Chains A and B, each alone.
Chain A
Amino acid sequence: GAVVSQHPSWVICKSGTSVKIECRSLDFQATTMFWYRQFPKQSLMLMATSNEGSKATYEQGVEKDKFLINHASLTLSTLTVTSAHPEDSSFYICSASSSSGGTQETQYFGPGTRLLVL
């Protein structure tokens, strides 16, 4: 149980284009989904938190107009990197929990999406 999928697993795009990453909870309803970014040999950096049907809450320093997050259903959240640039190249990971975020519920992670912007 508690399986989270991400698609695509890797993507290469040209500078200036937009890329959409999907995150799905396969066997549970995710009231809260989280988007992280991870640089090589570093720990996870939280980008934003989204609750189903609400606007995402972005961490300080994360551009909300550049990283568009939609959490339209209890099983799907999407991250769109708009007008991508080489500095956006990174490993993006989503996680999902079945609580509203205020309890001890565990976050289950997807396999990650590696983005390379040329």
Chain B
Amino acid sequence: EDQVTQSPEALRLQEGESSSLNCSYTVSGLRGLFWYRQDPGKGPEFLFTLYSAGEEKEKERLKATLTKKESFLHITAPKPEDSATYLCAVQAASNYQLIWGAGTKLIIKP
């Protein structure tokens, strides 16, 4: 069964304290892995798409990496405005639908 698991459920960091969020997946043929950021009461905001193991993408303080079993979202020197829920989703080769993880709620304290 295709499945996406995100960890931790919640993460509290001090401003400037770097860390990583994990997205583990099992899927029968990966078409793509997606990272989104969601603020309370808003729709998800697209961050990255990764297609194959070894691929990396960066945007400001965020860097996403992908292996055959998991993806990491590294956040470097975070700021309070990086506080949000980060969602991971995968698209299987057999189905265009996105399989979603439960998300990681990130809180950055000033």
Chain A interface (Cβ < 8 Å from any Cβ of B):
2, 4, 6, 32, 42-44, 46, 49, 91, 93, 95, 101-104, 106-112, 114
Contacts and interface: CB of A to CB of B under 8 A. Distances in A.
Pairs of residues from A and B, 3 with the lowest C-beta to C-beta distance, nearest first = A101-B96, A109-B43, A104-B32
Interface in B1-58: 31-32, 34, 36, 41-46, 49, 51
A38 B86 CA distance: 15
Interface of B: 31-32, 34, 36, 41-46, 49, 51, 87, 91, 96-98, 100-103
Given A43-B100, A43-B103, A104 B51 contact: yes
A112 B91 contact: no
B87 A106 contact: no
Contacts of A112: 41-43
Given A43-B101, A43-B102, A109-B36, A102 B96 contact: yes
A101 B31 CA distance: 11
Contacts of B49: 104, 106
